[in-house]
């Protein structure tokens, strides 16, 4: 497939100074080496755990490349910069692995604050949160696995539902779309059910609440078709973020340990086909389902562009959004935005220590998906050369 739409490195890196370009090149060069990433992530985990003064080093390298800052205010420079190139921001409070009610409430309050803010700031039309950001993993898991909750857990679950509802309700009132991230399959069933209920409540007129389908799971298109039937019967619309999925190794490992068949597609190609088929299904049913396409894959992004063209869907149609992570695949984001498509970057923020799981996933992802890192390096190299000339 032709990729010329994404080849313009001047557009891709227009917002990067020469020194930022150098830093990005250095960073991707480092994380392309798997042993280095393994040693680096282990050392960072240890150093932060032991309160060694490494935050500054992490901040000025990986953190600043992949994150907007430690709080919302910090992110505004990046938000405004991105918006100057017509790229919107989805601020992502990326604190993970917390288990206390207070941090779940804090996350809810952050997201609600962002909804209120998004209402005033055109550059931030969408918010996001993770189910495990507002409730304990074990509760989601128990419900997904069909286990009974005890009385205390039942109270906890009611509180989780209240948090999710509070976010979706204000998003509805303020007309701000809310994306709910997809996580591990063994907790996702309960999240799917709750998100479908939120859609039934708040997506009557148009999609406000979006669930995430991870297409490395072979059952997701069937799930979407069932949800589509339910939505038609109950009279609501659907919002879907389509991604490939970020927890593949964890999924395989657990399936092997517990002795059940892995929920993951048999090959990368099977995941790609599943992703493209799911995306096609949505684009063909845009009157009922809106799409947020979260991918760094050039072929899938180009296929979406092609399908939109074939079906006469305007580039700026609000029912189709393209999304990439901050610090990755700028050549897709900025070239699509320049062409007039709706594009948003996930912009993570939070205290350095708490954002580490997110950063480690990015480092590991860029190592294991070798093709992607090499592509980033090639593009950065091409832009450095272009600037020298």
Ligand X SMILES: Cc1cc2nc3c(=O)[nH]c(=O)nc-3n(C[C@H](O)[C@H](O)[C@H](O)COP(=O)(O)OP(=O)(O)OC[C@H]3O[C@@H](n4cnc5c(N)ncnc54)[C@H](O)[C@@H]3O)c2cc1C
Residue 323 sits in the site that holds ligand X (CB under 6 A): yes
Q: Which is nearer to ligand X, 267 or 287 (CB)?
A: 267
348 makes contact with ligand X (CB under 6 A):
no
Closest contact distance (angstroms) between CB of 8 and ligand X is 20
Interaction between residue 212 and ligand X (CB under 6 A): yes
User: Which of 277, 369, 377, 382 forms a contact with ligand X (CB under 6 A)?
Assistant: 369
Among the listed ranges 97-105, 146-154, 198-206, 294-302, the one in contact with ligand X (CB under 6 A) is 294-302
Pick from 262, 239, 240, 238: which is nearest to 251 by CA?
262
Indicate whether 245 belongs to the interface with ligand X (CB under 6 A). yes
Which one of 133, 182, 239, 348 is in contact with ligand X (CB under 6 A)?
A: 182
Q: Does 91 bind ligand X (CB under 6 A)?
A: no
- Compute the least distance from the CB of residue 220 to ligand X, in Å: 11
CA–CA distance, 305 with 293 (Å, rounded to integer): 11
Residue 330 is a binding residue for ligand X (CB under 6 A): no
Residue 35 Cβ vs ligand X, minimum distance, rounded to whole Å: 20
Contact 217/263 with Cβ under 8 angstroms?
yes
Tell me which of 66, 140, 236, 247 binds ligand X, using CB under 6 A: 247
Closest by CA position to 206, among listed 181, 223, 231: 231
Q: Does 31 participate in binding ligand X (rule CB under 6 A)?
A: no
Q: What's the closest the beta carbon of residue 325 comes to ligand X, in angstroms?
A: 5
Exactly one of 324, 342, 366, 367 binds ligand X (CB under 6 A); which one? 324
The size of the interface with ligand X (CB under 6 A), counted in residues, is 27
For residues 214 and 367, which CB has a smaller minimum distance to ligand X in the complex? Answer: 214
Largest CA-CA distance found in the chain, in angstroms, rounded? 69
From the list 248, 302, 359, 379, which residue makes contact with ligand X (rule: CB under 6 A)? 248
| Nearer to ligand X among residue 133 and residue 323 (C-beta) | 323
Measured distance CA(140)–CA(359) in Å, rounded: 24
Contact call for residue 342 and ligand X (CB under 6 A): no
* Options 105-113, 159-167, 277-285, 365-373: segment touching ligand X (CB under 6 A): 365-373
- SS3 for the chain is CCCHHHCCHHHHCCCCCHHHHHHHHHHHHHHCCHHHHHHHHHHHHHHHHCCCCCHHHHHHHHHHHHCCECCHHHHHHHHHHHHHCCCEEEEEECCCCCCCHHHHHHHHHHHHHHHHHHHHCCCCCEEEECHHHCCCHHHHHHHHCCCCCCHHHHHHHHHHHHHHHHHHHHHHHHCCEEEECCCCHHHHHHHHHHHHHHHHHHCCCCCCEEEEEECCECCHHHHHHHHHHHHHHHCCCEEEEEECCCCHHHHHHHHHHHCCCCCECCCHHHHHHHHHHHHHHHHHCCCCEEEEEECCCHHHHHHHHHHHHHCCCCCCCCCEEEEEECCCCHHHHHHHHHHCCCEEEEEEECCHHHHHHHHHHHHHHHHHCHHHHHHHHHHHHHHHHHHHC
Q: Which of these segments, 20-28, 49-57, 201-209, 211-219, binds ligand X (CB under 6 A)? A: 211-219
Question: Binding residue for ligand X (CB under 6 A) from 27, 194, 209, 246?
Answer: 246
Per-residue mark of binding to ligand X, 253-292 (x: CB under 6 A): -----------xx-xx--x---------------------
Which of 116, 62, 124, 63 minimizes the C-alpha distance to 90?
A: 124
The nearer residue to ligand X, 203 or 297, going by C-beta atoms, is 297
Q: Does 33 bind ligand X (CB under 6 A)?
A: no
Interface with ligand X includes 214 (CB under 6 A)? yes
Contact call for residue 124 and ligand X (CB under 6 A): no
Asked if 127 touches ligand X (CB under 6 A), the answer is no
Question: Interface with ligand X by CB under 6 A: which residues?
Answer: 181-182, 212, 214, 216, 243-248, 264-265, 267-268, 271, 294-297, 323-325, 346, 365, 369, 372
């Amino acid at each position: 497939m032709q990729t010329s739409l994404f080849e313009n490195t001047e557009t891709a890196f227009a917002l990067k100074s020469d020194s930022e370009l150098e830093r990005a090149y250095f960073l991707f060069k480092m994380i392309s080496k798997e042993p280095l990433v393994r040693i680096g992530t282990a050392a960072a985990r240890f150093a932060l755990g032991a309160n060694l003064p490494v935050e500054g080093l992490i901040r000025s390298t990986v953190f600043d490349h992949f994150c907007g800052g430690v709080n919302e205010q910090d992110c505004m420079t990046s938000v405004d910069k991105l918006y100057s190139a017509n790229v919107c921001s989805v601020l992502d409070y990326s604190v993970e692995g917390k288990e206390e009610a207070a941090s779940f409430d804090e996350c809810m309050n952050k997201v609600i604050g962002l909804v209120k803010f998004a209402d005033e700031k055109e550059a931030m039309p969408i918010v996001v949160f993770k189910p495990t950001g507002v409730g304990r993993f074990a509760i989601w898991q128990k419900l997904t696995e069909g286990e009974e909750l005890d009385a205390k857990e039942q109270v906890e679950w009611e509180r989780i539902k209240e948090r999710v509802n509070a976010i979706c309700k204000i998003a509805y009132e303020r007309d701000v779309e809310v994306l709910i991230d997809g996580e591990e399959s063994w907790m996702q069933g309960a999240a799917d059910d709750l998100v479908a209920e939120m859609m039934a409540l708040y997506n009557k007129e148009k999609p406000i609440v979006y669930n995430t389908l991870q297409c490395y799971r072979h059952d997701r298109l069937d799930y979407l078709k069932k949800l589509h039937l339910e939505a038609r019967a109950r009279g609501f619309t659907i919002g879907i973020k389509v991604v490939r999925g970020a927890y593949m190794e964890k999924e395989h490992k657990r399936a092997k340990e517990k002795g059940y068949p892995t929920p993951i597609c048999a090959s990368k190609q099977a995941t790609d086909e599943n992703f493209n088929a799911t995306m096609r299904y949505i684009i063909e049913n845009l009157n009922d389902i809106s799409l947020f396409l979260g991918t760094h894959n050039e072929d899938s992004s180009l296929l979406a562009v092609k399908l939109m063209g074939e079906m006469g869907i305007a580039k700026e149609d609000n029912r189709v959004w393209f999304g990439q992570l901050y610090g990755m695949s700028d050549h897709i984001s900025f070239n699509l935005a320049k062409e007039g498509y709706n594009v948003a970057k996930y912009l993570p923020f939070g205290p350095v220590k708490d954002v580490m799981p997110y950063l480690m996933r990015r480092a590991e992802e860029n190592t294991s998906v070798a093709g992607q890192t090499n592509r980033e390096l090639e593009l950065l190299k091409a832009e450095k050369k272009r600037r020298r000339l």
